[in-house]
Amino acid sequence: MRSMHATGVPRPRYVGQRLPRRNDGRLLRGLGRFVDDIELPGMAHAAIVRSPIAHGIVRSFDPSAVEGAALVLGPSEIDAATHSVPVLWTLGVQLQTSTRVADGRVRYVGQPIGVAVAGSRYTAEDAVDQIVVDFEELPIVADAEAALAPGAALLYPEYGTNVLSAFEAGDSAEHTDTVFAAADRVLRHRMHLGRIAGISMECRGIVAAPDPATGTLTIWSSNQAPHAIRDAVSEVLGLAQHRIRVIAPDVGGAFGLKDHAYDDELMVCLAALRLGRPVKWIEDRSEHMVATTHARDDHVDVEVAYDDDGRLRGLRLDAVRDTGGQFAIFGGGPLFTMTGMVPGPYTWDAVRSTAKVVASNRTPLGAYRGFGQTQAALVRERTVELVARALGTDPVELRLRNMVQPEQLPYTIRTYITYDNGDYPTCLERARVLATQFPPAPDDGRARGLGYCFYVQMAGIGNSTTNQLIGLGIGGHETATVRMEPDGSVRIYTGISPHGQGQETTFLQVCADRLGLDIDRIELIANDTNSTPYSAYGTAASRSMPVGGGALVLAADKIAAKVKAIAAEMLEAAVDDIVLVDGAAAVIGTNVSVPIARVAHRAWQGFSLPAGIEPGLLETAAYDPVSATFSYAAHVCRAAVDRTTGEVEIEHYAVVHDCGTIVNPLVVEGQIHGGIAQGLGAALLEEIAYNADGQPITTTFLDYLAPVSASMPDVTIEHIQIPSPHTPGGMKGMGEGGTNGAMACVVNAVAAALPEIADRIDRTPLSPSRLWELLQSAP
């Protein structure tokens, strides 16, 4: 038996393999099934009526000129037919805990206020053009600064303020003051992380199909959390959950944007129910840029206290998040996460944040890859480089001097979060070695600089009670069901909702090893609330592997235990001597075995089962993690900047990281590449801009620059694998890591290339024009 260790314990056959993804074939052939590919008999098409102004009250909504529409719903009808949408994260003093689908006010350009349904998308859009809406315009609150100015117009007069929530995190003011007073020096800087859009390549979309015969509603939508969509549809439309089925078909990217039901999608569901026929709505790109949640737009004032010898002492943040016209599902969560994770890998004496989430007449912010942890890394790692610069020391040495050492782990940081395990210094030192291997810079007149970022990422967020304690209204566990069929083939049912991350392959790898099966004998069932276990998150927060995978390991092990018990009886051996390997249950150290298929057949027929064993092979396990998991990485890159144009090229890039046990390096590397592209985009290219009237001026891919192939260097990746002490299977999670590391790494590299302006880099993106302006005004 080649797949045994000498001890007789099966060696993992699939975990750790660079297995190409098993679902690629149909996507490569054009046989994917995305939401706009769905055609149903009798289906009508919706278009959304959106606000053309940034702030106002709807005085009238007049569809009388509309010809040929099956249905038009305006704000008052929608408001009367819907309950409020809950905000699922409550932080500190929070005034907004739910929002109305249509309350007769508009607070950003693009806000949905009505829906028109017709025979085709073209005619539905015609109908929208024929609706006459009259607004009473209100003074515009252009951004967070305007929102906080004395006498500012209020988006919600009933709150008496534009501050939707305010909270503190970390150490007390007194303790922090003491630490700052005792330190040799204090340095201050500001950072505004520019507003960006997540831009999945597939925009949002939904097909809502009521079945009047059964009183059920089936929804296909481009989403990453079908159960969360069902929760919202149930709550807002007042339908029982067992009458709603939500399916995520193939989904063309989500990145956090598609983690909840949007108001326009709820309007489409309402219209379908009213009409008693299927209705499809597909968002277009211009809508996506104004109506799908944005990200970042955090303004952070930073103070750092440190000693002459390079010891980091204290970190104090005052942060404002410009959250736009209303809270989306997770409210101010990203800002809270930033304040929690900002300490990073260093041993501070004090870390304290004060934070405000402010409403303005901009598109609402929502979840996006990184969820505050990208911001935490940028703020901290930029600060560390500024301290190194002030001291004239090497920034890598400064980091190493202040790092949590491996023997200090588990280590509780100043914000009460306990890191699990790892070796941060080795990780950073390896990145420094990889940087020495970048090819020598050509003599082309461009300025060059190396930038680093080290982050620790909270992944595998949980457990459920911790979520509850921090005001997060969803549990942190996952559930998996494993069903071995009578022929020994297996189906896995998961609440995780894959849409490009490869779980159709990686979950099979995990399961195949636990059950000693060939991977071709296993299939993943996901993305459908009718067949999968409840999951509040779906695929999000880098938790598919550490939490969803953890649940899978537990459920597969239950099946394995049952198979072994039955096989032991069949083979007249002790249960503890049975191993599952190569499709058979074998007695260890012998050549006595029975095919697992025969065991499965016996289990389902119920023939001669051992005492106390129920027929069948169907097991479910919930995994509520003991703690979150903490992956980490060092990123390093080299920037080349043309001082005459401000243009930046990231020439070389290397990553050393630890995400615990790696199930599939090919997939992990792909996640890192894609994450880096998004962090690099936010650092250099991407920016949602508004004019003074609150009109968005970046609504096409010509104005909003997403990274293209030429923007992205190749990436050298080195894996460290220190298994998680908590997760069954050892995985730590890493889907957001690339983004978390890249933004700071790229900004630091540009700053290193341009020392004359390094102190004055205070906002992203570092577009050519912004850098050029800074360079022109350099002393």
Partner 1 sequence: MTERRRVQLVVNGEARTIDVDVRTLLSDVLRHELGLTGTHVGCEQGVCGACTVIWDDNPARSCLALAPQAEGARIETIESVAAAVAVGGGDTGFAEGAGGLGALHPFQRAMHELHGLQCGFCTAGIVMTVVAAERAGWSRDETLDALGGHVCRCTGYVNIRAAVERAWQELGLTR
Pairing of strands 578-581, 584-587: antiparallel
Cα of 417 vs its chain's centroid, Å: 20
User: Looking at residue 370, what DSSP letter applies?
Assistant: T
Per CB under 8 A, which region of 15-23, 139-147, 207-215, 766-774 contacts partner 1? 15-23
Q: Which is nearer to ligand FES, 255 or 306 (CB)?
A: 255
Out of 96, 111, 200, 373, the residue judged to bind partner 1 by CB under 8 A: 200
Residue from 6, 158, 714, 779 in contact with partner 1 (CB under 8 A)? 714
- Whichever of 241 and 286 has its CB closer to ligand FES, that residue is 286
- Beta-carbon contacts of 375 under 8 Å, excluding residues fewer than 6 positions away, are 193, 296, 298, 300, 334, 335, 338
C-alpha 129/C-alpha 112 separation (Å) is 14
List phi, psi (to 5°) of 84.
-70, 155
Q: Interface with partner 1 includes 674 (CB under 8 A)?
A: yes
- When CB distances are held under 5 to 8 angstroms depending on the partner's kind, the choice from partner 1, ligand FES, none that residue 122 binds is partner 1
Residue 504 contact partner, candidates ligand FES, partner 1, none, CB within 5 to 8 A by sort of partner: partner 1
Is 45 in contact with 119 (CB distance < 8 Å)?
yes
Q: Tokens at residue 175, please?
A: 């303790």
- Look at residue 29 and give the partner it binds from partner 1, ligand FES, none, a contact being a CB closer than 5 to 8 Å depending on partner kind: partner 1
**Is 226 an interacting residue with respect to ligand FES (CB under 6 A)?**
no
**Residue 213 interacting with ligand FES (CB under 6 A):** no
Q: Which residue type does 166 have?
A: A
Q: Which is nearer to partner 1, 125 or 569 (CB)?
A: 125
Distance CA 322, CA 375 (A): 14
CB closer to partner 1 out of 481 and 739: 739
**With contact defined as beta carbons under 8 Å apart, do 357 and 92 qualify?**
no
Comparison of 39 and 443: residue with beta carbon closer to partner 1: 39
CB of 201 to ligand FES, least distance (A): 4
Q: Does 526 bind partner 1 (CB under 8 A)?
A: no
CA neighbor of 60 nearest in space, from 76, 82, 81: 76
Contact pick of 701, 755, 756, 762 for partner 1 (by CB under 8 A): 701
- Report the Cα–Cα distance between both ends of the chain, in Å, rounded: 72
Instruction: Compute the distance between CA of residue 779 and CA of residue 777 in angstroms, rounded to an integer.
Output: 6
* Residues of this chain, 606-635, that bind partner 1 according to CB under 8 A: none
Q: Which is nearer to partner 1, 239 or 745 (CB)?
A: 745
In the set 712, 721, 723, 775, which binds partner 1 (CB under 8 A)? 712
Would you give the binding string for partner 1 spanning residues 113-132, x where CB under 8 A is met? Answer: ---------x----------
What's the sign of the alpha-carbon dihedral 714, 718, 722, 728? positive
Q: Which stretch binds partner 1 (CB under 8 A): 174-182, 394-402, 576-584, 666-674?
A: 666-674
Helix (H, G, I), strand (E, B) or coil at 606: coil
Closest listed residue to residue 599, CA positions, set 620, 583, 588:
583
Whole-number Å distance between alpha carbons of 100 and 158: 14
* From 28, 201, 611, 710, residue interacting with ligand FES (rule: CB under 6 A): 201
655 binds partner 1, rule: CB under 8 A: no
Please state the φ and ψ torsions of residue 382, each to the nearest 5 degrees: -70, -40
Instruction: Identify the burial level of 392 via C-beta atoms within 10 angstroms of its C-beta, where 0-12 means exposed, 13-18 middle and 19 or more buried.
Output: exposed
Q: Does 256 help bind ligand FES (rule: CB under 6 A)?
A: no
Of the pair 254, 586, the CB lying nearest partner 1 is at 254
- Measured from the CB of residue 499, what is the shortest distance to partner 1 in angstroms? 6
By CB under 8 A, the residues from 27 to 66 that bind partner 1 are: 27-34, 36-37, 39
Q: Which residue in 678, 740, 748, 767 binds partner 1 (CB under 8 A)?
A: 678
Work out what residue 30 binds among partner 1, ligand FES, none; the CB cut-off runs from 5 to 8 Å by kind.
partner 1
Instruction: State the Cα–Cα distance between residues 355 and 321, nearest whole angstrom.
Output: 8
For residues 45-104, which are near ligand FES according to CB under 6 A?
A: none
C-alpha distance from residue 387 to each of 162, 230, 271, 398, 628 (Å): 35, 49, 57, 9, 30
The owner of tokens 């923007």 is 711
- Chain contacts with ligand FES (rule: CB under 6 A): 201, 253, 500
Site residues (vs partner 1, CB under 8 A)? 20-34, 36-37, 39, 122, 199-203, 250-253, 255, 284-286, 499-502, 504, 520, 666-667, 669-670, 673-678, 700-702, 706-710, 712, 714-715, 738
